[in-house]
């Protein structure tokens, strides 16, 4: 069994993808080809924002946003403690201090209570200026943007939506990657919208930031690439990846989100809840199910359950084993920590992600559920 069946996905629209790639090869327009611009238009329309700027990966996308906002020395950026490393990594990369915030135990997204407490404490200590909140749409579920917006307004801060896992999700029909002042996503192959290599995108309604982003991601260009007016990066999406994504975006929107939501429903119906905490999607929220992640009430048997699954040829993953505040790379910032993030710590010791994706078969889900249920029996 595949953890996420990308081979089957490719086979289901192989002809279209092959033709799209082949066209790029024949035209030899590998960098900044017309497909890149077309994809940006498709993405902006799908998400419902004015501007989409593609770039080399989801990490660059986050960093470029911070660069455009001029965030750096003396600034604090608040990051959920339970997420992929990159959500926090970009903050020291621009010279600012990441302050980790505990999570909501139902959704695994940033806790608005812990966030406000942490901001207040940071202001009280008086060393750093709170500038931005990184709001991660973890495992495909959008963060609580209505509440986050109130906090951001109250403290005059910006929201950076990290929608690397959230693309395709929505709240009351409004699409993920439209909630931040700037929002980003990743096209890493295993993400809800993945390409065949690395890729990323940035979304905003601000024409000023759109222009700055387009400059920052091409060597801080002015009039053109050889007129350089600021220090930027080299972060572009390849034309081949854009061509692939144009095809894949269509299928994601037309059917894959429905398919993966059906798979998640099947899991939630068949897994027994005595020993597990199943993922929760609050009313009005729609997940793109980057992961289907359960929690073991008894964390001591997680490894044994993984072994049992493995014996049956079922892959499983632990996203994430360590909260960010315990990562060695962030050791230098521990004195700024204002919340112990105990929930994030607990969740890290309990989570287990099971195989999912639009192309998982019902029989496969049944097999996973039977194995898990039998394990506890
Ligand atoms: C994958 C991921 C990123 C980074 O994306 P890359 O394209 O791999 O650089 C950032 N944040 C989150 C939450 C992610 O899952």
> What digits encode the pLDDT tens for the residues 78-133?
999 999 999 999 999 999 999 999 999 999 999 999 999 999 999 999 999 999 99
Atom of ligand 1 nearest to the CA of 191: 1
The percentage of the chain sitting over the pLDDT mark of 70, rounded to a whole number, equals 100
| Distances 41 to 28, 172, 213, 242, 252 between C-alpha atoms, Å | 22, 23, 16, 11, 16
Q: Please report which confidence band the pLDDT of residue 333 belongs to, taking 50, 70 and 90 as the band edges.
A: very high
Section 142-167 average pLDDT: 98
* Burial track 295-307 (b if 16+ CB lie within 10 A, e otherwise): bbeeeeebeebbe
Distance (Å) from CA 58 to ligand 1 centroid: 5
Section 45-70 average pLDDT: 98
Atom of ligand 1 nearest to the CA of 86: 10
Distance (Å) from CA 27 to ligand 1 centroid: 31
Section 344-366 average pLDDT: 98
Q: Please report which confidence band the pLDDT of residue 253 belongs to, taking 50, 70 and 90 as the band edges.
A: very high
Section 323-334 average pLDDT: 97
Section 224-247 average pLDDT: 96
Distance (Å) from CA 184 to ligand 1 centroid: 9
On whether the CB atoms of residues 351 and 319 are closer than 8 A, the answer is yes
Please tell me the predicted confidence (pLDDT) of residue 19: 98
Q: Which of 88, 109, 164, 202 to mutate to test the pocket of ligand 1 (most atoms within 8 A of CB)?
A: 164
User: What is the helix (H) or strand (E) element at residue 162, kind and residue range?
Assistant: strand 158-162
Using CA atoms, how far apart are residues 27 and 318, in angstroms rounded to an integer? 42
User: What is the helix (H) or strand (E) element at residue 160, kind and residue range?
Assistant: strand 158-162
Please tell me the predicted confidence (pLDDT) of residue 108: 98
Per-residue pLDDT tens digits for 22-50: 999 999 999 999 999 999 999 999 999 99
With a cut of 90, say whether residue 75 has pLDDT above it: yes
Contacts of 340 (CB under 8 A, 6+ apart): 102
Whose C-alpha lies nearest to ligand 1, atom 1?
Answer: 164
Please tell me the predicted confidence (pLDDT) of residue 70: 98
| Distances 61 to 53, 81, 158, 186, 272 between C-alpha atoms, Å | 9, 20, 16, 8, 39
Distance (Å) from CA 272 to ligand 1 centroid: 31
The number of beta carbons lying within 10 Å of the beta carbon of residue 285 is: 17
Per-residue pLDDT tens digits for 258-301: 999 999 999 999 999 999 999 999 999 999 999 999 999 999 99
3-state DSSP assignment of residue 89: helix
Q: Which of 90, 140, 162 to mutate to test the pocket of ligand 1 (most atoms within 8 A of CB)?
A: 162
With a cut of 90, say whether residue 152 has pLDDT above it: yes
Paired sense of beta strands 75-80 and 170-171, if any: unpaired
Distance (Å) from CA 156 to ligand 1 centroid: 26
Whose C-alpha lies nearest to ligand 1, atom 2?
Answer: 164
Task: Report the pocket of ligand 1 as residue ranges, CB < 6 Å.
Answer: 57-59, 83-84, 86-87, 136, 162, 164-165, 186, 188, 198, 200
Using CA atoms, how far apart are residues 291 and 229, in angstroms rounded to an integer? 41
Distance (Å) from CA 87 to ligand 1 centroid: 7
With a cut of 90, say whether residue 141 has pLDDT above it: yes
Please tell me the predicted confidence (pLDDT) of residue 203: 98
On whether the CB atoms of residues 354 and 89 are closer than 8 A, the answer is no
Please tell me the predicted confidence (pLDDT) of residue 206: 98
Q: Please report which confidence band the pLDDT of residue 72 belongs to, taking 50, 70 and 90 as the band edges.
A: very high
Atom of ligand 1 nearest to the CA of 83: 13
On whether the CB atoms of residues 198 and 57 are closer than 8 A, the answer is yes
Atom of ligand 1 nearest to the CA of 137: 13
Please tell me the predicted confidence (pLDDT) of residue 356: 98
Section 311-321 average pLDDT: 98
Q: Please report which confidence band the pLDDT of residue 67 belongs to, taking 50, 70 and 90 as the band edges.
A: very high
Helices marked H in 13-104: 14-27, 34-47, 58-68, 86-93
pTM: 0.98
What is the CA angle 142-267-313, rounded to 5?
110
With a cut of 90, say whether residue 207 has pLDDT above it: yes
Distance (Å) from CA 275 to ligand 1 centroid: 30
Q: Which of 93, 186, 198, 317 to mutate to test the pocket of ligand 1 (most atoms within 8 A of CB)?
A: 186
Section 179-198 average pLDDT: 98
Give me 213's structure tokens: 């982003």
Distance (Å) from CA 124 to ligand 1 centroid: 32
With a cut of 90, say whether residue 225 has pLDDT above it: no
Residue with tokens 């287990």: 352
Distance (Å) from CA 376 to ligand 1 centroid: 33
């Amino acid at each position: 069994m595949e953890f996420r069946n990308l081979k089957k996905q490719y086979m289901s629209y192989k002809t279209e993808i092959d033709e799209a790639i082949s066209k790029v090869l024949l035209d030899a327009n590998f960098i900044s080809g017309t497909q890149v611009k077309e994809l940006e238009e498709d993405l902006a329309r799908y998400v419902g924002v004015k501007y989409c700027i593609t770039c080399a990966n989801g990490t660059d996308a986050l960093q470029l946003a911070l660069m455009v906002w001029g965030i750096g020395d003396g600034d604090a950026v608040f990051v959920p403690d339970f997420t992929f490393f990159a959500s926090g990594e970009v903050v020291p990369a621009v010279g600012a201090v990441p302050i980790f915030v505990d999570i909501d135990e139902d959704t695994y997204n940033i806790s608005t209570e812990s966030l406000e407490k942490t901001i207040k404490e940071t202001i009280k200590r008086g060393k750093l200026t709170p500038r931005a909140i990184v709001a991660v749409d973890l495992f495909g579920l959008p963060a609580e943007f209505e509440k986050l917006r109130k906090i951001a307004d109250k403290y005059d801060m910006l929201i950076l939506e990290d929608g690397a896992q959230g693309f395709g999700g929505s709240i009351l029909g409004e699409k993920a990657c439209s909630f931040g002042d700037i929002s980003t996503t990743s096209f890493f192959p295993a993400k809800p919208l993945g390409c065949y290599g690395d890729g990323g995108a940035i979304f905003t309604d601000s024409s000023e930031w759109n222009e700055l982003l387009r400059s920052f991601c091409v060597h801080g260009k002015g009039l053109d690439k050889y007129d350089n007016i600021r220090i930027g990066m080299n972060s572009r999406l390849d034309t081949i990846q854009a061509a692939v994504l144009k095809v894949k975006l269509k299928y994601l929107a037309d059917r894959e989100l429905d398919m993966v939501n059906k798979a998640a429903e099947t899991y939630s119906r068949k897994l027994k809840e005595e020993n597990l905490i199943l993922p929760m999607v609050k009313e009005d929220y729609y997940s793109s199910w980057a992961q289907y992640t359960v929690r073991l009430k008894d964390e001591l048997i997680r490894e044994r359950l993984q072994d049992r699954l493995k014996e049956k040829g079922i892959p499983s993953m632990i996203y994430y084993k360590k909260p960010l505040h315990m990562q060695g790379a962030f050791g230098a910032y521990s004195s700024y920590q204002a919340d112990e993030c105990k929930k994030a710590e607990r969740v890290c010791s309990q989570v287990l992600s099971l195989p999912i994706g639009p192309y998982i078969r019902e029989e496969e889900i049944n097999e996973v559920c039977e194995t898990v249920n039998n394990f506890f029996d």
